[in-house]
A and B are shown apart, each in its own frame.
Chain A
Amino acid sequence: MKKLMVRLIVSAVFFASAFMINNSQIKLIMYAISYVIAGGDVVKRALDNIKEGEVFDENFLMSLASIGAFLIGEAPEGVAVMLFYQLGEMFQSYAVGQSRKSISNLMDIRPDYANLLRDGEIVTLSPEEVQIGDIIQIKAGEKIPLDSIVTEGNSMLDTSALTGESLPREVTVGSELLSGCINMSGLLYAKVTRPYNESTVNKILELVENASSRKSKSEKFITKFARYYTPTVVAIAALLAFIPPLVIKDATFSEWIYRSLAFLVVSCPCALVISVPLSFFGGIGGASKNGILVKGGNFLEAMAKTETVVFDKTGTLTKGVFKVQKIHSVKDDPRELLKLAAYAENYSNHPISLSLKEAYKEEIDSHKISDVEEIPGHGISALVENVRVLAGNDKLMEMFGIPYDKETSGGTVVHVAADGQYAGYILIADQTKEDAAQAVRALKDQNIKDIVMLTGDSESAGITTAKELGINKVYARLLPADKVEKVEELISQKSGKSVLMFAGDGINDAPVLARADVGVAMGGLGSDAAIEAADVVIMTDEPSKIPAAIKISKNTIKIAYQNIIFAISVKVLILILSTFGLTSLWAAVFADVGVAFIAVLNAMRALTYKPLPLS
């Protein structure tokens, strides 16, 4: 590039001095020298390509335009075309180089090495060579090379490269480490859980790099446009050069050829071919910086048209962790009530039983439990310290004819009776995620028409969560197959080209993720099936990333359209002006390469865009 710069400067010096010379022959020689220095290689490449049958190649078109100018006696214009063209190319490749650098910085999450602990010694090798079960050492400041579990040490992790989350995460023995994060403080030893090619960091890089092969409609349009644009413009140029002088009285060939040369100058679709895909690639890169992996330009484009967002409840809007929320004791000690329930449910592994045991905290002495009987769909009957305990739902109480207190709020109610006497109930419910309500609000702010929640839970649980979050459409008691059906129904209801987005945590949602126009898997790195089926993977489990993704999508589309409209209108303007002889050649080439340069810079905004903290 430096070489080119020197050449252009020398060429410009000859060009300038030619202006000052009066002798017209020497003047022409000076122009010719200036021209050869600036654009000799372009002409050479053009000639080479003609031999190969490649006519509409930009080298050829520029050579034709500039040599044509020489031939009709506009030598300075010919030199100017070549000079500006080369200058523009130089700026453009500088801008492209810069964009490449920002993109590769962004992708700089690939770990270079791993410190393997082997026979008490540390060996440094490439992450690909480490195997499952190996123990690796990660020093402060190093990248986690492989997905692993901490076996020794405490530290803080910087997960921002993966999740966009700026708060460091604390890890200790037993914590899961995702490759690509940075160990900020302590020394860690960890046991490798996945080989490198299945590791988080490798999956992310593959997703982002492969994303460009699924092109958006705008990109496809540009590719098509580029294919027809050049031949069309060249054909018009040919007509313009020869028809008017033959038809119009007093029109000269040199005048009309001059005008047609401007067509050749703007006949390269470069600005569009670079800047539109760059906008999308930048958008995908920028999204991944925020912890949102988009699997293709087509999905990034589609998200901007979202009209309906369908959420799965458990694990997506709620934490999916059941907790005892309320203990309602008829007589006295709530602790005693909890104890009875925990003992009765001791042998069950149902999430409800687990949450009872977790709330009870104390060790359960299983010798005190006997004669356990499960009554399917109702609950459990067990003998605890010689007391007949019944623990279960409303139906269980009704079955034994025991009067009980009603609880109407969402969640699961476990009634407890001791020796036929009603003792009270325990309310167990899932908690909504901290940012769930905020996510719903942000979606409403973005004019999403329909926000829907689907759940396999009871109506009361569904309605309670929906009310809390401000969602007004809930469909409850759905089996996985019902969810697909519901989503299909919602797709048929939405207006023409709008998009339905479904967000789920992925474990049972793969068919729904695949069916939705855009399927979003949350906290996705856990489940391979979800990553496979989803179009967008959110690295964290924050639902607020969904409105953020839509924002990024809208911003990217805006930039791509700006570039399309800007580049095409400048080109059309030049074409119109030159048809009427209102512009000079060098102005045309200057405008054309200028557009390309500005479009590339504009496209880079897609990469650095931050969907500001949502209100």
Chain B
Amino acid sequence: MKKTYRLKGLDCANCLEKMERKISKLKGVKNVTSNFFTEKMVIEADDVFMAEIEEEAAKIIKKHEPQVVFEEV
């Protein structure tokens, strides 16, 4: 399953790079791509793990960039 998210208020490109790397290591994740300029992240993962991944991803993002609003589009 592929889901696209908006990361509103992204400030730091280097942090996004780190988030992407961490999220891609979560269990069940197949692929993560992100775009700093359109503030979008696409997560491709097994359906079973999706909810869990989403939760973890939100935590990881919060850690790096607390002001970011993370939501599915």
Q: Identify the A interface with B (CB < 8 A).
A: 45, 48-49, 52, 54, 57-58, 89, 93, 96, 99-100, 103-104, 107, 209, 212-213, 223, 226, 268-270, 273-274, 277-278, 281
Contacts and interface: CB of A to CB of B under 8 A. Distances in A.
A352 B61 CA distance: 63
Among B11, B13, B17, residue most surrounded by chain A Cβ atoms (within 10 Å): B13
13 contacts: A58-B12, A96-B37, A100-B37, A100-B39, A103-B37, A107-B38, A209-B38, A209-B40, A212-B37, A213-B42, A269-B14, A270-B14, A278-B37
A613 B62 CA distance: 48
A274 B14 CA distance: 8
Interface string B7-37: 0000111100110000000000000010111
Nearest to B39: A100
A49 B39 CA distance: 23
B14 A58 contact: yes
Given A212-B38, A281-B37, 15 more contacts: A54-B63, A54-B64, A57-B64, A96-B36, A100-B39, A103-B38, A209-B35, A209-B38, A209-B40, A212-B35, A223-B17, A226-B14, A268-B14, A270-B13, A278-B36
A209 B40 CA distance: 9
Contacts of B14: 58, 226, 268-270, 273
B39 to A, nearest CB: 7
Contacts of B37: 96, 99-100, 103, 212, 277-278, 281
Contacts of A52: 63
Interface in B29-73: 33, 35-40, 42, 63-64, 66
Nearest to A282: B37
Interface of B: 11-14, 17-18, 33, 35-40, 42, 63-64, 66
A397 to B, nearest CB: 63
A136 B16 CA distance: 42
A274 B36 contact: yes
A607 to B, nearest CB: 10
Nearest to A54: B63
Contacts of A96: 11, 36-37
A525 B36 CA distance: 28
A100 B11 CA distance: 11
Given A93-B11, A270-B12, A270-B13, A45 B66 contact: yes
A274 B35 contact: no
Nearest to A52: B63
Nearest to A208: B38
A439 B40 CA distance: 37
Contacts of B42: 213
A89 B37 CA distance: 16
A277 B39 contact: no
Given A49-B63, A223-B17, A226-B17, A281 B35 contact: yes
Contacts of A45: 66
B42 to A, nearest CB: 8
A226 B13 CA distance: 11
Task: Report the 3 A-B pairs with minimum CB-CB distance, sorted nearest first.
Answer: A213-B33, A274-B13, A273-B13
